[in-house]
Amino acid sequence: MSTVREVTYDVLRKLGMNVIFGNPGSTELPFLRDMPSDFEYVLGLHERVAAGMGLGYAMATGKVAFVNLHSIASSGNGLSTLVDAWYGHVPLVVTTGQQDRRQVLSEPFLVSRAVETVRPYVKWAYEPLRAEDVPASIVQGYHLAVQPPMGPVFLSIPMDDWMHECHAVDVRDVRRTVLADPAALDDIVRALDASRKAAIVTGAQVEEDGGWHETLALAEHLNAHVYQQPIAPRWTFPRTHRLFRGGLLPAQQPLADQLAEYDLVLVLGAPMFLYYAYVPGNAIKPGTKLFHITNSPQHAAAALAGTSLVGNLAAAARYIRSHAKARDRDSGARRVEPEPPAPDFPITASFLFSVLNKVKPHDAVICEECPSSKGDLDRFLFSDEPNSFYSVPNGILGFGLPAAVGLQLGNPNRRVVCPVGDGSIQYSIQALWNAVQYKANVIFIVLRNGDYSALKSFCDFTHVGRNVHGMDLPGIDIVKIAQGYGMSAKEIDRPEELEPALRDAYALPGPQLLCVNVAKGRQKCMGMDQSVNPPRYR
């Protein structure tokens, strides 16, 4: 008979999880020994990086990624990636070692309570009751991870389990598409037919459900203006399209004001809505009909207003398009494009993004983590291709670098560019080593402003005042750090150096880091200024 270890590699192979993202420890060695030659192990020097690369790889490939962490020691370090996967609906099967069952009761060194620790941020956290249940638990975890809304599952596996005898485990076919109720979709169709001026809000789930083209076709059929969800973790509509009207603001009253001209708003695949600053007001202008289609029962339950229904976004968009009346093209004005930014010194974030927009290939993948420059990025960087933009789903810094490396490993034919703040890069800096060692040809663009500009802006925005410690980042030489990990790196100071440096980076095959000295962030919060009447924390 086979062992638990052999059967586990067999089910991982059958499930297509041949890449193991991990950081090893003693409790995982009995599993990791003699890894079959059709498997690849991707070592992360820190678990935020190991799991974070798995996250990026899963997003790039659209498949479940397998992550192996070390007891509670590295489950703690990897926890922020589990939170990202939870909010970003990214399917991960994460295993971690546990001490030997025969002594676990005596609380030995490295005993793990990881199952209890991670529970709120995974779809399933489990330590199998019997060694023989390990492979079947992985299969069950896999099927749960890919059911909408997708997300991470977590298994803790005692280190003595791997040698036990075990029967082969079947990998069944478990289907995943959940269709919205047609009667509820008919209500939306009737409301759209009766509406004067409708808008669509698109969210990340449009991509999760493969609904880019259906959403685009629906918007064109209805000739409806399209907005991107607030603080978008993905862009799910072509940004130069005539119907695109930009991103929504993450606060109640300002968002309702943005949508005030419409008598019907249809939200596709986003929470309704994701707020950041507390600026109370109506979720939507009274009288505007609000409909919400989501793949997440949690989002449906938590929405503040309107009618929600749960179902696959691509299928729902297709159904509505084939039943709702086509509308004539709007004769109203197009969105006003902002003036191209000037090549000021110090370089501004807006100038940086406008130059990057000119230089990057049309199918570049953008993986972003630059808090105070998000507004500039949103205005000056464009993409019209699906699966092109990824950002931190719930505000935990450290997402960007490992996600960029994982996206590049999973998608070697599209160059990944990672604009990242000089503060943000420090939370998972070890990923630079992975980019070099695993030949992930990411272009990292560090926006070096020498401080936590986003926090300073928030201090101003919310009247906290500037008398707060821990806001400045002096004395960090990011170019040397990158070079220390073996990466080609360069500092950019003058605006005229920027375009040639970016062109060179794209011309060279390997990963590159450009550290751009930029002006400090402006005193705004996610595109909002004092005119929105922000909260006062003073």
CA distance 292 to 276: 20
> Nearest approach, Cβ of 352 to ligand TPP (angstroms)?
12
HSE-CB of 77 using CA atoms within 13 angstroms: 21
Handedness of CA 306, 176, 146, 167 (dihedral sign): positive
Strands lying side by side in the sheet with 512-517: 389-391, 365-368, 416-421, 443-448, 512-517, 488-492
Nearer to ligand TPP (CB atom), residue 216 or residue 392: 392
**Residue 379, CA distances (Å) to 63, 239, 270, 279, 444 in order:** 31, 10, 21, 23, 20
Token pair for 33: 């020994």
The structure tokens 């049309």 sit at 362
CB of 173 to ligand TPP, least distance (A): 39
List phi, psi (to 5°) of 31.
-80, -45
Nearest CA to 90 out of 51, 123, 58 is that of: 58
What length is written for the chain? 538
Helices of type H across 275-312: 297-302
Q: How far is the CB of 369 from ligand TPP (least distance, A)?
A: 7
Positions in the binding site for ligand TPP (CB under 6 A): 370-373, 395-398, 421-424, 427, 449, 451-455, 521
Between 120 and 395, CB nearer to ligand TPP: 395
Residue sitting closest to ligand TPP (CB): 421
Secondary structure letter of residue 502 according to DSSP = H
Q: CB-wise, 88 or 410, nearer to ligand TPP?
A: 88
Please, are residues 159 and 33 in contact by the beta-carbon 8 Å criterion?
no
Instruction: Give the CA angle between residues 437, 441, 443 to the nearest 5°.
Output: 120
Scan for tokens 């478990």, then name that residue. Answer: 174
- Closer Cβ to ligand TPP, 182 or 465, answer by number: 465
Q: How far is the CB of 406 from ligand TPP (least distance, A)?
A: 18
Q: List all residues 6 or more positions away from 257 whose beta carbon is below 8 Å from its beta carbon.
A: 281
CB of 83 to ligand TPP, least distance (A): 10
Residue closer to ligand TPP, measured from CB, 23 or 424:
424
- Cα separation, 400 vs 49, in Å, equals 10
Three-class secondary structure of residue 156 per DSSP: strand
Query: Minimal distance in Å, beta carbon 70 to ligand TPP?
Result: 21
| Beta carbon of residue 449, minimum distance to ligand TPP (angstroms, whole number) | 5
Q: How far is the CB of 424 from ligand TPP (least distance, A)?
A: 3
Between 367 and 397, CB nearer to ligand TPP:
397
Grouping H, G, I as helix, E, B as strand and the rest as coil, residue 102 is: helix
Phi, psi of 68 (to 5 degrees): -120, 115
Compare residues 148 and 371 and give the one whose CB is closer to ligand TPP: 371
Report the C-alpha gap between 32 and 9 in whole angstroms.
10
Q: Considering the complex, what minimum distance in angstroms separates the CB of residue 450 from ligand TPP? A: 8
**What are 283's two structure tokens?**
């979720």
H helices of 310-367, in order, are: 313-323, 349-359
Please, which residue, 246 or 450, has the CB nearer to ligand TPP? 450
Give the residue with the Cβ less far from ligand TPP, 143 or 522.
522
- Contact assessment for residue 297 and residue 271, using Cβ atoms and an 8 Å cutoff: no
| Residue 58 · residue 117 · CB < 8 Å | no
> At its nearest, how many Å lie between ligand TPP and the CB of residue 89?
20
Q: Which is nearer to ligand TPP, 320 or 489 (CB)?
A: 489
Residue number with CB closer to ligand TPP (332 or 470): 470
Q: Which is nearer to ligand TPP, 65 or 515 (CB)?
A: 515
| Least distance (Å) between residue 391 CB and ligand TPP | 13
Between residues 378 and 451, which has the closer beta carbon with respect to ligand TPP? 451
How far CA 146 is from CA of 53, 72, 178, 528, in Å, comes to 18, 25, 12, 36
Which residues, in sequence order, are bridge partners of residue 265? 199, 290
- Which residues does 37 contact at the CB level (< 8 Å), separation at least 6? none
**What's the closest the beta carbon of residue 393 comes to ligand TPP, in angstroms?**
12
Least separation in angstroms between CB 80 and ligand TPP: 7
